[in-house]
């Protein structure tokens, strides 16, 4: 069955520190991969996506993610976290064909210490 796992429910980092949010997926083939950010009471904002090609993807707000097929992972990284990055982060996969349904991970809540 298709699934997305975000092992870390909560992560706390100091402002200026580096960040890595983990995402592992289970899928029959290479899916489309996404990272979204959600502020409290808000919708989702797309940070970046991977469809094909270069496995290191650059996104908005200084985020990047690396697709590793051998590890079925798509971890999100940022070299220096800002206080405004505090939010909930969701990893998602979507089927390459057919209905294009998204499956979301359970999310990782990021707290940034001043």
Partner 1 sequence: GAVVSQHPSRVICKSGTSVKIECRSLDFQATTMFWYRQFPKQSLMLMATSNEGSKATYEQGVEKDKFLINHASLTLSTLTVTSAHPEDSSFYICSARPSEGGGAFFGQGTRLTVV
Q: Which residue carries 């993610």 as its tokens? A: 65
- Comparing CB distances to partner 1, the nearer of 19 and 48 is 48
User: Using CB under 8 A as the criterion, what x/- string covers residues 46-85 for binding partner 1?
Assistant: x--x-x----------------------------------
How far CA 16 is from CA of 19, 79, 84, 85, 90, in Å, comes to 9, 8, 11, 11, 22
- Comparing CB distances to partner 1, the nearer of 78 and 89 is 89
CA Rg value for the chain: 14
Binding to partner 1 by residue 100, rule CB under 8 A?
yes
């Amino acid at each position: 069955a298709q699934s997305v796992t975000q092992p870390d429910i909560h992560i706390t980092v100091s402002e200026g520190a580096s960040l890595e949010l983990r995402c592992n997926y289970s899928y029959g083939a290479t899916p489309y991969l996404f990272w979204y950010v959600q502020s409290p009471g808000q919708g989702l904002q797309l940070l970046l996506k991977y469809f094909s090609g270069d496995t290191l993807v650059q996104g908005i707000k200084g985020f990047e993610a690396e697709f590793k097929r051998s590890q079925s992972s798509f971890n999100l990284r940022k070299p220096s976290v800002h206080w405004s990055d505090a939010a909930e982060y969701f990893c998602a996969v979507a089927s390459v064909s057919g209905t294009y349904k998204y499956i979301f991970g359970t999310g990782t809540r990021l707290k940034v210490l001043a």
